[in-house]
Amino acid sequence: MNVIIVGAGIMGTTFAVLAKELAPELDITILERMERPGASNSWVFNNAGTGHEANCELNYTPVDEEVISVEKALKIHAQFNVAKQFWAYLIKKGAIKDPKTFLNQTRHCTIVAEPAIEELRLRYREMSAHHFFEHMRFSEDFDEIESWIPYLMEARPRHEKMAATVIETGTDLNFGTLTEQMVAYAVNDLGVRIEYGTQVKRVHRSPSGSWLVETETKGKAVRHKADVLFVGAGGGAFPILKKSHLPFRHRFTGFPVGGRFLQAPISEEQANRYRAKTYGRAKVGAPPMSVPHLDLRVADGQHYLLFGPFASFKPVLEKGRGFLDYLRSMRLHDIPGLLSVAIEHFALVKYLVSETFKGEKSMLAELDSFAPGMSKKFDWKPVEAGQRVQIIKDGDLQMGTEILVSKEKTYGTLLGASPGASVSPEVMLRCLEQMLPSIFRKESAREKMKEIFPEDNLETLINEPDRYREIRDVVNERLGIIRPESE
């Protein structure tokens, strides 16, 4: 069977590696418009690199009149555990390098001031009662919080009442490096082909049922043929879907949200003082993806602090692509849906526009209000982050991700942006199960599944503490994630 994957980001690459591991007989080609893999949203500074497992993100545990909902947090944590199983398998096999090349253990902290302290306490009580978060700690003690996250506390007046939670086994991930390593393995060991500088322009089904993929390759029009097509092209997936003639294409439009961060290089010594990612609360009216956080990042052995994100309204599909590409991806019938989203979510649009025009001075002031004194301590500069394209489905704005598979199961795509790269192996596994169910019927694939994913059932991980702990401890050891003795 001949499979074409559009996009060599973390999603397309994970799809290729997993498919080939389970079914080596598949003939897989990746078509990528850039000259290297993992260079769009998956690149290290185009995202925040948080290994999202709901340790610290308040938007995963919404509170409604003192009732906290933890379902989303449990699902994301379980998905991340499945992702870690996949990466641990690749490391054991020698397919990707030492985990230190892409994974940096950091504390995952949440910090709030009044009037949110009671909410954080409630979150802590609910979450720490579950085996996923059994090592979470809560503190209102200034000195203890300072010992966890000194950069958030050292210049803060002691009378400011704060509360924080910490989980010591969180991660910062360089998804760009991970993607590059997986591509090298896919090409050199699994026989996957990859064609760079190849932009997919449109796709359509031939009368025989196969997909014809029209591309522009280094200025020339080239046509490829595929039995199965997976479009993992990030924001670039929308125009391809729109031109696919699939019946559900009319139901979807993209709503782009850009982002910026403040970035500062720091020394290794400074990094050792602040091995953390600290999340706060989003401002009223701000979208969930704009929760402020101060992160230690590591890229190519160099340490950085990253603060943000600052959202912006930028009508492009991907960073580096022009406004016209977005405009061309729109159809007349999309306009009423977009307008109704703009009216219904007017506060969000207003927020995005105001954020777009925020200058460096205001960005630094925001940093200081989150982490007092930080703006002067390091040499910050604003950097452009990646581009999220949220889904508008049937006129409604969605903040999550959606896997779409055609009725014949020969076309699959991933739309949306959250929780993203962290859960890519679990999301790609579900995609493969829907698109290529026949490969899972083979005894060899079933055996391989057990080897790669000792437990991929999210409900089992959520409901069976001993099973979860057994797997967590094995994969953490393989990934070099160490729980301190004190826990």
Q: Which spans of this chain sit near ligand FAD (rule: CB under 6 A)? A: 6-12, 31-34, 39-42, 47-50, 52, 175, 199-200, 232-234, 236, 240, 259, 309, 318, 385-388, 414, 417, 419-422
Shortest distance in whole angstroms from residue 464 CB to ligand FAD: 26
Q: How far apart are CA 23 and CA 210, in angstroms?
A: 20
- The structure tokens listed for 84 are 């870690």
Indicate the residue among 12 and 425 with the shorter CB distance to ligand FAD.
Answer: 12
Indicate the residue among 41 and 263 with the shorter CB distance to ligand FAD.
Answer: 41
Shortest distance in whole angstroms from residue 424 CB to ligand FAD: 7
- The structure tokens listed for 282 are 């989003």
Indicate the residue among 200 and 462 with the shorter CB distance to ligand FAD.
Answer: 200
135 within 8 A of 167, measured Cβ to Cβ: yes
Q: How far apart are CA 342 and CA 331, in angstroms?
A: 17
Indicate the residue among 9 and 254 with the shorter CB distance to ligand FAD.
Answer: 9
Shortest distance in whole angstroms from residue 239 CB to ligand FAD: 7
Shortest distance in whole angstroms from residue 371 CB to ligand FAD: 18
The answer to whether the bond into 115 is cis (omega within 30° of 0) is yes
Shortest distance in whole angstroms from residue 414 CB to ligand FAD: 6
Indicate the residue among 160 and 360 with the shorter CB distance to ligand FAD.
Answer: 360
Which residue reads 């020394």 in tokens?
A: 267
Shortest distance in whole angstroms from residue 101 CB to ligand FAD: 17
Q: How far apart are CA 163 and CA 303, in angstroms?
A: 27
Shortest distance in whole angstroms from residue 465 CB to ligand FAD: 25
8 within 8 A of 38, measured Cβ to Cβ: yes
Indicate the residue among 138 and 416 with the shorter CB distance to ligand FAD.
Answer: 416
50 within 8 A of 216, measured Cβ to Cβ: no
405 membership: H or E segment, kind and range: strand 401-405
469 membership: H or E segment, kind and range: helix 465-479
Q: One-letter amino acid identity for 412?
A: G
Indicate the residue among 8 and 153 with the shorter CB distance to ligand FAD.
Answer: 8
Q: How far is CA 166 from CA 1, 128, 174, 340, 468, in A?
A: 48, 11, 22, 41, 20
Q: How far apart are CA 480 and CA 422, in angstroms?
A: 17
